[in-house]
Amino acid sequence: MIDMKWIAGGAAVGAIASCWGYIKSGFNYFRSLFLITREVEGWGDTSLELYSYIVKNFYVPRLGNRHYKFDTYTDNDRRTHLVVAENLLQNRHLLAFRKGIPMWFAIAGNSFSVSYFRGSFNLQKFFDTLRGNLTERIEAEISNQASYEEVYTRFCIDDVWGSLADDGGGATTRESESNEASPVEESISSDFQVSEAHIKSGSVKLISSDIHPTSRNPENIKKDRKAWLDKMYLETAQEALVNEINFWLSNKSWYEGHKIPWKRGLLLVGPPGTGKSSLVFAVGRYFNLPIQVMHLNTMNSKDLVKQWGGWSGGGIKLIEDIDGVFDLRKTIHESKHRSFLTFDSLLNVLDGVDQHQGILTIITTNHPEKLDPALGGGLNGNGMSTRPGRVDKIIKFGLLEEEGRRFIANKILDDVPRNKVDEFMLDICNKPMSGAVVQELCTKYALEHKWRSKRK
């Protein structure tokens, strides 16, 4: 005989299962009456302000992992301190208390969420505080630029890959002179370096001072950066490029005052080995700018939109060999099974509705005839492209004539007798050629000379 209790129990379970969606919705609605969760994206430069706000206004229990690091920190007076630093935001989830009331912070990359009981937290005041603190930090950095450069080097070269890359995409640092990570990196990195901003945020405590009271002088740093351009031979058009970038960086307020987006686009055209990428990297060092190398052939449209963000202090987006990605408007790498970057998506990030500020876009190509006019592949005169706003100016690179070849030879063959250098120029380096070829020939000759000198 069937037990009616089992039938009743099964019917109850079935009723609950069929109504689970309604039960869940009702629970979430009831929860929302008391508990509020807000998502914040693109917080980027305010990471240290968020850090400081939590440290100063909340009690954070000693739960979860903590990351400590001993490091040295050089202050504005060029004194070196030994410090112990704790990276609070290494924890992706933080339970914090304010006046005994709990709040929950969840951090993920360039976004975070905050959960709190209704009436216990003023989100608008929170944003106003972050904005005010960020403004104060930026103004302080600008007012003391020389000292700021001493403790903060922005230059780095990051390779940005899309989801079509073998490892799934992301950003990797190729080269960096930085003694302080970018604001987002410093908040989530497992190996961050101490900076003045960390100390002001309350995440670092000084435990000793004047360990090594010597440090690099700001003037020496500027000379080191300038040396990267001094060792390059720049023709008139390339010198104009450097001056134009300097004007762009120095007149941010002018752009803002005239409601013109603070961005610039340049197209470098020339045969392989003529120094297009080398000049970009030298300019990055000289002006202390971060460089992101965008690998478009590993990206789809969504990847590019996600990775295309600006900088408050300016930075370079480098797109090398655009002719290897698009032939006019056609995507070279096409597949029925994978979605690649479209030409329209590239145009939209360069000059679309969402105007990102602080981006100096530099595109290089060996074959300008393969560029669509909508990207600015043609000339309107005075170096202006056919599509200002996306590509504002075109800079041409060519093979080196006698003066340029001699400049490189004098730099590399500095310990070779002058008569030997003259013979080298007449016999080997005697026709127009790219800077890369000249450098290789000079290097080979210098090493041979060094070897012959040792054998004597």
Q: Are residues 412 and 380 in the same domain?
A: no
For residue 54, being part of any structural domain is answered with yes
How far apart, in whole angstroms, are the C-alpha atoms of residue 438 and residue 273? 10
Q: Are residues 86 and 228 in the same domain?
A: no
Give the lowest-confidence range in 55-64, 88-97, 195-204, 286-295.
195-204
What pLDDT does 294 receive?
93
Q: Are residues 139 and 264 in the same domain?
A: no
| DSSP letter (8 states) at residue 357 | S
Total domains in the fold of the chain? 3
- Give the mean model confidence (pLDDT) for residues 202-209: 58
What pLDDT does 212 receive?
45
| E strands in 52-177 | 68-74, 80-86, 93-98, 101-108, 111-117, 156-161, 170-176
Q: Are residues 238 and 142 in the same domain?
A: no
How far apart, in whole angstroms, are the C-alpha atoms of residue 267 and residue 373? 12
For residue 4, being part of any structural domain is answered with no
What pLDDT does 334 receive?
67
pLDDT at position 383 over 70: no
Q: Which residue has the higher pLDDT, 280 or 67?
A: 280
Q: Are residues 440 and 388 in the same domain?
A: no
What is the distance between the terminal CA atoms of the chain, rounded to a whole angstrom? 111
Residue 184 CB partners (closer than 8 Å, separation 6+): 44, 47, 109, 110
The mean of the pLDDT values for the chain is 76
348-357: pLDDT as tens digits: 888 877 778 8
Q: Are residues 374 and 229 in the same domain?
A: yes
For residue 24, being part of any structural domain is answered with no
For residue 11, being part of any structural domain is answered with no
Count of beta carbons in the 10 Å neighbourhood of residue 330: 10
What pLDDT does 151 receive?
42
285-300: pLDDT as tens digits: 888 899 999 999 889 9
Q: Are residues 160 and 110 in the same domain?
A: yes
Q: Please report, rounded to a whole number, the percentage of residues in the chain having pLDDT higher than 70.
A: 65
Tokens in use for 115? 């959960």
150-160: pLDDT as tens digits: 445 788 889 99
Residue 397 CB partners (closer than 8 Å, separation 6+): 238, 268, 269, 270, 271, 274, 275, 276
Q: Are residues 286 and 322 in the same domain?
A: yes
Contact by Cβ (8 Å): 257, 385: no
What pLDDT does 320 receive?
93
Q: How far is CA 370 from CA 130, 273, 327, in A?
A: 47, 19, 5
Phi-psi region of 77 (alpha: psi -120 to 50; beta: other; left: phi over 0): alpha
The confidence band for 187, taking pLDDT boundaries of 50, 70 and 90, is very low
Please say which residue of 396, 421, 444 terminates a domain: 396
Please say which residue of 160, 175, 209 terminates a domain: 209
Q: Which domain holds residue 448?
A: 402-455
pLDDT at position 77 over 60: no
Count of beta carbons in the 10 Å neighbourhood of residue 237: 15
Angle at 320 between CA 317 and CA 324, to 5 degrees: 135
How far apart, in whole angstroms, are the C-alpha atoms of residue 299 and residue 362? 18
pLDDT at position 317 over 90: yes
Specify the residue for token string 């000759």. Answer: 445
For residue 12, being part of any structural domain is answered with no
Q: Please report, rounded to a whole number, the percentage of residues in the chain having pLDDT higher than 90.
A: 13
What pLDDT does 293 receive?
94
The highest-confidence range among 199-213, 229-243, 385-399, 407-421, by mean pLDDT, is 407-421
How far apart, in whole angstroms, are the C-alpha atoms of residue 280 and residue 174? 14
Give the containing element (helix H, strand E) for 448: helix 435-455
Q: Which residue has the higher pLDDT, 97 or 3?
A: 97
CATH of the domain at 331: 3.40.50.300
Please say which residue of 350, 368, 396 terminates a domain: 396
Specify the residue for token string 């690998």. Answer: 295
Cα R_g (the chain), whole angstroms: 28
Q: Are residues 384 and 284 in the same domain?
A: yes
Phi, psi (degrees; rounded to nearest 5) at 193: -110, 150
pLDDT at position 370 over 60: yes
The confidence band for 179, taking pLDDT boundaries of 50, 70 and 90, is very low
pLDDT at position 386 over 70: no
For residue 30, being part of any structural domain is answered with no
What pLDDT does 456 receive?
62
Q: Are residues 93 and 193 in the same domain?
A: yes
Hey, which residues does 204 pair with through a beta bridge? 85
pLDDT at position 318 over 90: yes
- Give the mean model confidence (pLDDT) for residues 9-34: 70
What pLDDT does 185 receive?
34
For residue 204, being part of any structural domain is answered with yes
At 338, the amino acid letter reads R
Q: Are residues 168 and 129 in the same domain?
A: yes
Can you count the helices (H) and strands (E) in the chain? 16, 18
For residue 15, being part of any structural domain is answered with no
What pLDDT does 63 receive?
65
Give the containing element (helix H, strand E) for 208: strand 204-209
Q: Are residues 385 and 449 in the same domain?
A: no
How far apart, in whole angstroms, are the C-alpha atoms of residue 436 and residue 451? 23
426-453: pLDDT as tens digits: 888 889 999 899 999 999 989 988 888 8
